[in-house]
Amino acid sequence: MADKVVKLGCNTLVRHYATAQAPTIPKCDFVPKQYTGPSYQKTDKLKADHLPSVLYNIYKRPMLINQGYKQWLFDHEGRRYLDLFAGIVTVSVGHCHPKVVGALQEQIQTLWHCTNIYRHPKLYEYVEQLTSKLPGDLKVVYLVNSGSEANDLASILAKAYTGNLDVVSLQSSYHGCSYGLMGLTGTQSYRMKLNIPAGYYHTMLPDPYRGIWGGCRDSLSQVPGACSCPGDCVTADKYVHQLSELLENSVPKGRLAALFAESIQGVNGTVQFPKGYLKKAHQLVKKYGGLYIADEVQTGFGRTGDAFWGFQNHGVMPDIVTMAKGIGNGFPMAAVVTTKEIAAAHAGTAYVNTFGGNPMATSVGKAVLDVIEEEQLQQNCKVVGAYFVEQLMQLQKIHPIIGDVRGKGLMLGLEFVVPGTKDPLSVADVNIIFEDMKDMGVLIGRGGRFGNVLRIKPPMCINKQDVDFAISVLDQAIKNYTSCV
């Protein structure tokens, strides 16, 4: 391959590939369709002319995606990529899974739409199947269209049921981009310079890697030097105390409606909490009259391996659960699940959702649940995810640039730092590795407060051979980067 010029800060460097052989991508017999869309150059112009500038390119040399198959994506030239980000943790059972495609095809030839003011069989079949996956009294389902819509509705239900108005979430959380959810979201980059609705508070993030008390987490990988508590982590009480301080000092007395929390923070780079934190935070919130809302938009549907829902790994029972993304394998659908008692607080007010629970979405959702069970994808997340973490930990031993490896199942994160410190590696430098991995055939996410975390959330059908390829690519990309600095 030819030399490639890259920029690191203010220094222009030449990277030499002559001695670096790109890892070999695993074999795949699938042949993608011939691309027939607009030219690459025309998409550049169409994007510039008709799409908002906030929709930025994540790569310097953007791809034009043509087709997907299982864990693979193909660009307009037919080049194949291993998808380790799954459309932002959305493709659960694999791109264009034949059973899911077949279910949609059959339904679309029968009935597209009738809204939930009428009855249609797929809605009832689906909610019966979905609620069978949920514990306790979580048996009432609102079907909606997106994670943001689900989180908005969950906030309304909590306020209606408790009669209180204030909601607490965690620092660096992400719950959506709607006007109200900008207040709930604790990540500055998603909060516009607007007057955010009142009544939202953010408690200290209990982060074992960057938090002031550290801690141990439910992962094969721990922060170097972390405690190894046999049960709940000793630091959980310290972080929960900060929540109590917030409730005692900042939230008006008698106004707490809910604590809203992801089971593992997704956009913030797969941050896990110290063991026992969510359970104890839930107990505290109950004393103040609030509910616990579990945001399972990224962690649900078996992705964490040990349990079908992320909150089950914390030993806690939520009052309301929100879910989206993997629920439809990429088809736009979402849900809020709660108890009959809480849902009853909604009675007396008119409510309708034009597209929520439509026949196409519920047919897809039912097929997704079938595939997860039939192909044992939760177990695959557990086994392949553990293998992935182990391989990442091996890379951490040889690359000082890797500050932390974390996660559970196939929801993993790898944080880059300046070697010898916890200072986050600059976004410009992370982008060099990010871009290089894409050029070698691996698509991966990026996130975290400082933009220095690789987010690894692939379709749940990947295998150990795919992991080996991904690890080889990551290893080579780091070597390419470090050889230039």
Tell me what the mean pLDDT of segment 238-249 comes to.
98
pLDDT-above-90 percentage for the chain: 91
Domain end, chosen from 339, 374, 409, is at: 374
Tell me what the mean pLDDT of segment 156-181 comes to.
96
Q: Which amino acid is at 352?
A: V
Domain end, chosen from 319, 342, 374, is at: 374
User: Is residue 206 one of the residues assigned to a domain?
Assistant: yes
Nearest to 439 by CA among 32, 13, 20, 14: 20
pLDDT band at residue 14 under the 50/70/90 scheme: very low
Q: Are residues 276 and 417 in the same domain?
A: no
Tell me what the mean pLDDT of segment 447-466 comes to.
98
Tokens 């989180």: give the residue. 151
Q: Are residues 272 and 365 in the same domain?
A: yes
Q: Are residues 354 and 396 in the same domain?
A: no
For position 360, which CATH number holds?
3.40.640.10
- Side-by-side strand order, sheet with 402-408: 402-408, 411-416, 453-456, 445-447
What local confidence, expressed as pLDDT, does residue 348 receive?
86
User: Is residue 362 one of the residues assigned to a domain?
Assistant: yes
Pick the more confident residue, 74 or 11.
Answer: 74
* Mean pLDDT of all residues belonging to the chain: 94
Q: Are residues 315 and 399 in the same domain?
A: no
Structure tokens at 445: 């996410």
pLDDT tens readout for residues 171-227: 999 999 899 899 999 998 888 888 888 899 999 999 999 999 999 999 999 999 999
- Which run of H or of E encompasses 291? strand 291-295
Nearest to 86 by CA among 287, 236, 301: 301
Tell me what the mean pLDDT of segment 281-298 comes to.
98
167 with 258: CB under 8 angstroms?
yes
Residue 423 has pLDDT above 80, yes or no: yes
User: Is residue 209 one of the residues assigned to a domain?
Assistant: yes
Q: Are residues 360 and 396 in the same domain?
A: no
- List of residues 6+ apart from 194 with CB closer than 8 A: 179, 182
What local confidence, expressed as pLDDT, does residue 390 receive?
98
Tell me what the mean pLDDT of segment 239-254 comes to.
97
For position 81, which CATH number holds?
3.90.1150.10
Distance of CA 131 to the CA centre of its chain: 22
Q: Are residues 239 and 351 in the same domain?
A: yes
What local confidence, expressed as pLDDT, does residue 20 receive?
58
pLDDT band at residue 21 under the 50/70/90 scheme: confident
pLDDT tens readout for residues 90-116: 999 999 999 999 999 999 999 999 987
What local confidence, expressed as pLDDT, does residue 244 receive?
98
User: Is residue 379 one of the residues assigned to a domain?
Assistant: no
Q: Are residues 219 and 360 in the same domain?
A: yes
pLDDT band at residue 9 under the 50/70/90 scheme: very low
User: Is residue 54 one of the residues assigned to a domain?
Assistant: yes
* Of 38-42, 65-69, 188-192, minimum mean pLDDT range: 188-192
Domain end, chosen from 325, 355, 374, is at: 374
**Residue range of the domain that includes 164:** 99-374
Q: Are residues 186 and 146 in the same domain?
A: yes
pLDDT-above-70 percentage for the chain: 96
Query: How many domains does the chain contain in total?
Result: 2
User: Is residue 33 one of the residues assigned to a domain?
Assistant: yes
